[in-house]
Amino acid sequence: MSKILTTESGAPVADNQNSASAGEYGPLLIQDQQLLEKLARFNRERIPERVVHARGSGAYGYFEVTDEVARYTRAGFLSEVGKRTEVFLRFSTVAGNLGASDAVRDPRGFAVKFYYTEEGNYDLVGNNTPVFFIKDPIKFPDFIHSQKRDPYTGVQEADNVWDFWAHSPASTHQITWLFGDRGIPASYRHMNGYGSHTYQWVNADGDAYWVKYHFKTNQGIRCLDGAQAAETVGGDADSHQRDLHQAIERGVFPSWTLYVQLMPVAEAADYRFNPFDLTKVWPHIDYPLVKVGRLVLNRNPENVFAEVEQAAFSPNNFVPGTGPSPDKMLQGRLFAYADAQRYRLGVNHTQLPVNAPRATEAANYGRDGYMAANSAGRGKNYEPNSYDGPAQTGDVLATPVAVAGHTGTYTTPAHTKDDDFFQAGELYRLMSAGERTRLIDNIAGFLAQVSRDDVVEKNLAHFHAADEEYGARLAAAVAKLRAGDES
């Protein structure tokens, strides 16, 4: 008889696959003990480096609006063509530790902090892939555990990686991205960045849009194959950091063009698949790219620890005209990212120069804690008060989202074309013959290391479901490699 999964207090867990939400489509609930306990405990597993995205590089620069988008959002930093906003961008690998190599097959973090002078900082925390492995944040600690070092062997184990993916068919799309030609960028300068999640924009008239962000590199896409990456790592484990720093020092300033996809809020309910599913992209034929502006990096940090390691991002740092969506993964990150920084850097991490807002000072009633630099003196530490302390505006940042139904854990209802495999198949069929061959070789080389036949078969079934040729070629490649090992 299998053991019963419990909370830290010993209570049985009813559902460890789905977060509790306000109705089937609603935002997630803070009463979900299992979700908050898993995320909060996960954030505290390592000291002092980040649990994920530990290995990072960063630089300062600016974002300049080049095309009019004020009809879609009232966000001040996007209000007029020509407006510039200072930014800090942190790149990172996901699974590696602080001393890990740069040129590895791993998603890349792409986190941008807009030092928006009028109404605070805006953080956009994304990756270099437009999709991710899972749909629900309650599975995030499990996913990362499967990718990190095994607690017994102390190294990443193919058995753990592929066992998790065998039980997570929605990962097939992101696996196809990761093991394709773009899985190992040649440098941070030569890759795209994506907001990945769906966010909200609201214009001055109150019209709301769902939005996805695409930062297209102006240096062109450049990637490494497995052999080139191994050679690079062997010659310079810090290749991406060195490339970024030296390019800026030479005055070769990397840049990206920002585009967005915009979906009127009313269209989401009847779209052919769930538009808030992080494992899927919106086809450009349905929602074409709209050009917004240009991001340029032109200044290196003076101190990597103070400015890169202590940089703290949270997707919950919105400004008026921007907001969240019912994307479950985003909803979980709204809590988890800020909580991770409170643990890692302390409750006053927002007072550090790299994180503090520019021009305007944060004005609230938070007090004390470790490393409190801004004590607010003799000012009152409660609200409301009669002493002209900071007061609420009453103006909401974004448009409220309607919810209905009972509280509980739900599998999100399927739309007409909401399976886990069709976009992975479409991506495979978009690839050239050479790209397909390299994809098959990359996956097979890793999957063939798995010791359990049933785990291999479950994964192969996912690729068959995406595309019959994809699955058949991969099955043959894995079988050949495993036969060679046995002989």
What is the three-class DSSP state of 235?
helix
Return phi, psi of residue 469, to 5°: -65, -45
Contact call for residues 318 and 397 (beta carbons, < 8 A): yes
Nearest to 184 by CA among 221, 216, 235: 221
53 is catalytic: yes
Nearest to 456 by CA among 84, 464, 96: 464
What secondary structure does DSSP assign to 411-439, as a single string? PPPP-TT--SSHHHHHHHHHS-HHHHHHH
Contact call for residues 183 and 223 (beta carbons, < 8 A): yes
Measure the CA–CA gap between 66 and 55, rounded to whole angstroms: 32
- B/e letters for 467-483, b = 16+ CB within 10 Å, e = fewer, are beebbebbbebbeebbe
Contact call for residues 67 and 307 (beta carbons, < 8 A): no
| Active-site choice (18, 43, 121, 127) | 127
Tokens encoding 109: 């973090």
| Active-site choice (18, 43, 53, 121) | 53
Tokens encoding 368: 């004390």
167 is catalytic: no
The residues that are catalytic are 53, 127
